[in-house]
Amino acid sequence: MQNNKLLSIITRFDKVLLNRLRKFIASPFFNANNNILLLFDWYVEGIKKKKKETYFDLKIFWKLNFPDSSYQDAKLRKLKSDLLKIVEKFLIQLELEKDSTQQSIYLAQSTAGGNFNRLNNTAKSNLKREIEKSPYRNADFYLKKYYANRAIYLLDDMELVRKSDASILDLNEDLDIFFLTEKLKLVFESLTRKSIIDKEIEVTFSEELIQWINHSDYKNIPSIAIPFHVIQAYKNDDDNHYKELVKMLEAHIHEFPKKEAESFYTYAINYCIRQVNKNKAEFNEQFLTINEQMLKSNLIEKGEWSPWKYKNIVTIGLRDEKFEWVEYFIHQYLEYLPPKYQDNALNFNLANLYYYTQQYDKVIEYLHKVKYNEVTYELNARTLFIVTYYELDEYDAMIYQCDSFTSYLKRHKELAKDKTQRFLNFVRYSKKIINNRFADQSVIDKLRLDIEKHQIINKNWLLTKLNEL
């Protein structure tokens, strides 16, 4: 079944969609071959009864429906191909039904060239109404607006309506905005790709377009301004363009569909992360603010948010010592995570909060509730166990955790080698700090130099504890 394209589509439909699809296939307008409907019903019967993959052998279908005819493989494959094409048409129809603006554009285009004067007026009214009621002002809106106004322009031409220069200027502006918006998105995608795979993808005229936009009124149009400021901020490490981006998001984010709006916020968040990683402390606050702004804009559906994005916010909030806000955040936005991650996210992040607020007994209590069913939680929880037992002066328990963690890291070969080594270094130097608590200053200094030259998880914590000896 996995290799059957037709089945892979049909099995995703619920009962309602299957019934609608059957009516679609049974319609003489879309299908004049009843054998296609027979094949569809046979597939659906097998799906409903959860038949094994062998049930869907087309030879069986032929034998059941054409017992008096010899098996014709080419004919049956043609039947299956025709059914697939009808199913694809059905999917297209479903998408078209969602888009009333596109329907109005098609209606206007279909009346062009025919004697449909009264229908022409209806088509023009529909187009104008659809454009006016659109809640969005993204690239897709401007492209549809162009096609809509183009259709009205052509209908007016048929009716010998005198055209003004404004009609042509409007068409030109809509097309420009669509083009510039999409072009800027490509430029940013190329920058992102380069940072990941270190391969430059040339987007033609990108520099010229950016320079031109910078000196034009188009940079005030949100669909252009947002990617424009993103590009300028990323390319030039320019905080001013970041600030302009945030202003645009605050004022105009409602003009974009949810997924697109979320991606814009992601650009701003990633810029903050870059600056935080450069030790620009002021961006800790920015990072928290922009994330909360995104969540309050209802762009994230409950049950769909990444637990690692949630954890990153908690971590930066703790570093910025916003402990009350972090506790509020942990509880307020927990339901935005997929249910299977919620318990671990709650327990680990509360443990982290209690570590920063020096409630070490609570840290141990909540870490014991973390289930090791995901490698990231396990790595972080084991690390937090070690540093907490150190703060509690429970050195035997700490050594036990260190040895257990070492065995885990050596046993799990699937972990990236460099990542494994950074954790192993952390464990090794944690034990060295315990064993050298009463050592001479020369030994401490040598240990410090050793730590500083290695790649280590929690290096700052190790150096801090070393300085306290």
End-to-end CA distance of the chain: 65
Q: What is the pLDDT of residues 296-339, one digit of tens each?
A: 888 988 898 999 999 999 999 999 999 999 999 999 999 999 99
pLDDT for position 200: 66
Q: What is the pLDDT of residues 73-112, one digit of tens each?
A: 899 999 999 999 999 999 999 999 999 989 988 888 887 7
Sort residue 299 into left (φ over 0), alpha (ψ -120 to 50) or beta: alpha
pLDDT greater than 60 at residue 162? no
Cα–Cα dist 400/388, whole Å? 13
- Kindly report the average pLDDT of the chain as a whole number: 90
Q: Could you tell me which of 108, 186, 175, 110 has the C-alpha nearest to residue 141?
A: 175
Please tell me whether residue 298 adopts helix, strand or coil conformation: coil
pLDDT for position 115: 64
Which amino acid would we find at residue 285? E
pLDDT greater than 70 at residue 164? no
pLDDT band at 1 (very low <50, low <70, confident <90, very high): very low
Beta-strand ranges (E) seen in 334-429 are none
Cα–Cα dist 76/59, whole Å? 9
Domain boundaries of the chain, sorted by first residue? 5-98, 101-163, 372-469
Q: Between helices 222-236 and 139-158, what is the axis angle to 10°?
A: 140
Q: Could you tell me which of 270, 256, 262 has the C-alpha nearest to residue 191?
A: 270
What DSSP string runs through 192-223?
Answer: HHHHHH------TTHHHHHHHHHTSGGGGSHH
pLDDT for position 390: 96
Q: Could you tell me which of 136, 63, 56, 77 has the C-alpha nearest to residue 101?
A: 136
